[in-house]
Structure formats: structure tokens, C-alpha cells
Amino acid sequence: MEEKKEFFLMTFLIFALLALNYNFLDSKIENFLSDSKIQASVDRIIDGDTIAAGNETIRLLGINTPERKEFYYKEAKEFLEGKILNKTITLEFGKDKKDRYGRTLAYIFLGSENVNIEIVKNGFANYYFPSGKDKHYNSLKNAWDECVENEINLCEKSEDKCAECIELKSLDIKEQKIILANKCDFQCDLSSWNLKDEGRKKFVFPKFTVDSNTEIGVIVGNKTDTNKELFWKNEDYVWTRTGDTLFLRDENGKLVLWESY
């Protein structure tokens, strides 16, 4: 009887040890793959944050550049062309190697230089972390702060007189609602101003004026606009729970305010 107990106990310990070792090795392998780097030759620049190398389309991690017909779309693409076109780069992968479109996700290094960071620092992109922050988040956030301080390209401050009047009162992620306020003693015309998240979602203000010392709400939903509430239509959500940034720009694309969480 004692021999059977010892046998079962020994068997249990062996399986437990194997399971622990497997999990340990699996974790090590996963970390190795996520941190792995490979070299590639850049054949084509598709836009400011997407390139082609061989048979792969590569979407740059941690950044988002303007779309076609938006301010600085062309300049962002030309900046990336000047940096890496026909050059050998190093790709560094994050936790997700592919996006939903099948594109490879990577940080791009030219020598020791993180090109993704340089794009933000030069005002051709904002930082962008839809799946959560990674080890390069702080560097990209600092690059954006430097860009704003120097007022370069996308970081250039609005000269509209109402840029000093409009402030963000609250951003409610759960309710998908933001509240802006006009703190000045005169009306502010926000027609064609726009709100944007870190990604592609954008709300363009209709013909709209905010009275002095008045608050307005912008809510994700398909209800009818009122004089105190505007609705960000055709979106299920805008502000992500993993972290996001709100950008408010005037009709000329100049930065009025921004807020990260």
C-alpha cells in the first residue's frame, strides 16, 4: 500500500515538474520571438507609416501618420522615403507580429536610430498604441512632447484666437463622451475644427458656434445634435480602455489641445 502511495506521489511530482518546465520554456521562447530582430531591404514607401520590403507589407508600430488628403500626408511619406528607401533596416517586433490586414508590425531601426521615434519627433505622426503600451511608449511620448515644445508640423500650435479659449473639461471613457468649454467672454466658431483619437477616427465639427462661458458635449452615438451636444456618428466606440489620446485641431489642422490617458 505504501509503495502505491509513493508511486502515485512520484508520478504526480514528475508531471508537475514537466508542466512547470514547459511553461517556463514556453515563456522564454515567446519572449525570444517577441524581442527578435531581422534585417530587410526597403523596396517602396506606401505612406508615412507603411512600407514594402520583399513580399512583406510592414506597418510601423507605435505611430500613426496622416491619411491621404490630410495635412502632412505627403510630407510624412517623403520624410520616410528620404530616411530608408532602398536601405537595409532592422525590424523589431512587438507582442503582435501581424495586424488584422495581414501586415507585419514592427519598429524600424536604421543603424541604432529608431525611425518610428524620429517620425514623431519631426511632427509627421502622433504616437499610437491600440493594443496597449509597450517598451517604446515612453520614448515615443517624449518625442511627441519635444515636437509640441518645438511646434513642428503636426505639433504646430493654432493661432486662432479661440485656441486659448477652448478647454477640455472631461473625457468619460465609459460613456464615450467628452465635454469642452469656452472659457472666454466671446463666442467661438468651431466650424470645421476636428477631434481625433490616436488612430483613424475623426469627428469634424459642423457649422457650430459655442457661446461664451458655455460647455458642449461630443458623444459617440447616432442621436440628433443639439446646441449643447454633438454626436460622433457611425462609430461603436472611439476612446479605448487600454489608453488613448484626444487631439483637437482648428480648421487649418493646427493643434489646439491634446490629452492622453
Annotation says 44 is catalytic = no
Dist. CA 66–CA 247, nearest whole Å? 13
Helix, strand, coil tally for the chain in percent (to 5):
30, 30, 40
Annotation says 59 is catalytic = yes
Contacts of 31 (CB under 8 A, 6+ apart): none
Task: Say which residue the cell 511553461 belongs to.
Answer: 23
Dihedral, CA of residue 12, residue 17, residue 22 and residue 28, to nearest 10 = 160
Task: Say which residue the cell 525590424 belongs to.
Answer: 91
Of residues 30, 67, 113, 259, which has the active-site annotation? 67
The 10 Å Cβ neighbour count of residue 37 is 11
Question: What cell numbers appear for 7 in the block?
Answer: 508511486
Dist. CA 241–CA 44, nearest whole Å? 35
* Residues 27/20, Cβ–Cβ less than 8 Å: no
Question: How far, rounded to the nearest angstrom, does the alpha carbon of residue 235 sit from its chain's CA centroid?
Answer: 17
Of residues 59, 92, 156, 198, which has the active-site annotation? 59
Contacts of 80 (CB under 8 A, 6+ apart): 45, 48, 49, 51, 115, 119, 124
Of residues 78, 81, 103, 146, which has the active-site annotation? 103
Dist. CA 165–CA 161, nearest whole Å? 7
Residues annotated catalytic, as ranges: 59, 67, 103
